Amino acid sequence: MTNTCLCYIERDNKYLMLHRVKKENDLNRDKWVGIGGKFEEGETPEECNLREAFEETGLTLKNQTYRGIVTFVSDKWGTEYMHLFHSDCFEGKLKECDEGNLEWVEKSKVYNLPLWAGDKIFLGLLDEKIPFFSLKLVYEGEKLISAILNEKKLDLGEV
């Protein structure tokens, strides 16, 4: 099992999105995602999030809100625990990212980008300002087959 963090950095009603196009053999290839990555030995979720945000963007987060944990279960990639954060206060100058292209995207337009189906669920929870949540997403290949929010199965017809 892998532990990762993912952060949606917000400014002027836009999210800083990463279009994953630069790494070979990337399970997120061609998808748009937030900023984040894998934990290093001994890191807390908050420490991982601060480090990854700085490494990928050059920005230093001045606040971060731990919004939820997303458990990804995949027949292809195994299980991942993703610790989800939001930040709207930062400093520094945006730099080029070696994993893809960074772009500020209107929050309303993010849903039209090539995203994982499950990402649309937790982005909606962020936008609705739902307090801390636990979301389990089960995939077969790239197809989302099940989503459970706080122990309640969601209807995937709405995703």
Ramachandran assignment for 42, one of left (phi > 0), alpha (psi -120 to 50 degrees), beta (any other): left
Q: Is the CB of residue 96 less than 8 Å from the CB of residue 21?
A: no
Residue-wise pLDDT for 98-152, tens only, equals 889 999 999 999 999 999 999 999 999 999 999 899 999 999 988 999 999 999 9
Residue-wise pLDDT for 4-26, tens only, equals 999 999 999 999 999 977 767 76
Q: Which domains does the chain have, with CATH numbers?
A: 2-158 (3.90.79.10)
Residue-wise pLDDT for 46-81, tens only, equals 999 999 999 999 999 999 999 999 999 999 888 999
Q: What is the pTM of this model?
A: 0.93
